[in-house]
Amino acid sequence: MEKRIIKIIYIGIILVLFGVVFFIVVFSPSHLRANDLKKSTKTSSASETMSFGSKKEGAVPTIYISGSGGNVSPMNSLLGGIFPNIDTKNDCLTIQVNISDHNKLTVSGNINPDDKSPIIEFATVKGTENGELYSAAIKVAMRYLVTHYNYTEINIVGFSSGGTGAVYYMIDNENNKSFPKVDKFISLDGEYNSEGQLQFGESLQSVIANGPILKTPMYRYIAKNYRKINSSTEIYFMEGNWNFSKQTDGAVSWADTFSIYHLLVENKNVVSMYLYPTKYSHGNIPKEPLVQNYIKKIIY
């Protein structure tokens, strides 16, 4: 009888341990989960793709590109989570480019000359979702940064349509040797197929492997020109799993934000993708602690 009780206890312990391991593997934020994808596409975590070599001698800033809201408030929330003691008005450089007024440039804030990882916030006017217009505005900001700080490398974090603008910028200007090389690009709930959703008979797995069936002009432009993106740029796609049944963050479909994944794999970029659980819908995603922690690990 005693042996039987011991055996039952032993089996119980094994089952509990198995349950813990299962929970960690399946519900880990860095684990891509989308209707239990049986994907042939390999995804990687930041720890697998990050390089921990010697720190670069020159400063490598990160420019945080806001979405179509027309201000840097979302980036303030994001940076406040990454650096709890940051004063974004004084510890960051803020650049606003008004595409409605001949790309008028407004700059405020500061960059510490001794800082090896300066922070720059960027926004254009409210309602900007056009990748071409965004690209032109980012180009104005880059020209300012090169002129005043002589940066040769830069990281980009693009939120929502800011991600669209960043990809267009990398296509339109990567061969411009006077601009800083993009070292890492993080797409935070970015839009690359005009909010295109899964079509009949299509799966997220097939989108990741081969691209979408529905190809909007936005996607077609990227598909035509993606090889202009520097293949040495590390690229990270992040998307919020806010509504699992509809596969969306409340605004951008998973099938949209991951639609260009296969193109950049074909371009031989190091590409990672994260579908993370969140209670925040699209507009508040920069407040998500998982997002803040991922970005901090990847860049800093």
Intra-chain end-to-end CA distance of the chain, in Å = 58
The pLDDT, as a whole number, for residue 2 is 52
The pLDDT, as a whole number, for residue 1 is 53
The pLDDT, as a whole number, for residue 35 is 34
Sign of the alpha-carbon torsion through 222, 227, 233, 236: positive
The pLDDT, as a whole number, for residue 99 is 84
C-alpha pair distances (Å), 200 with each of 204, 208, 213, 249: 12, 16, 9, 20
Give me the CATH code for the 37-299 domain, please. 3.40.50.1820
The pLDDT, as a whole number, for residue 130 is 80
Measure the CA–CA gap between 104 and 141, rounded to whole angstroms: 10
% helix, strand, coil for the chain, step of 5: 40, 20, 40
- Give every strand in the sheet of 93-98, ordered side by side: 104-109, 93-98, 119-123, 62-65, 153-159, 181-188, 234-241, 271-277
Measure the CA–CA gap between 297 and 300, rounded to whole angstroms: 6
pTM of the model: 0.81
Give the pair of three-digit tokens for residue 52. 């921990």
Low-confidence ranges of the chain (pLDDT < 70): 1-57, 127
Query: 156: helix, coil or strand?
Result: strand
The pLDDT, as a whole number, for residue 149 is 92
Measure the CA–CA gap between 93 and 112, rounded to whole angstroms: 10
The residue behind tokens 């940076």 is 79
The residues spanned by each domain of the chain are 37-299
The pLDDT, as a whole number, for residue 32 is 52
Q: Helix 73-82 to helix 289-299 angle, to the nearest 10 degrees?
A: 70
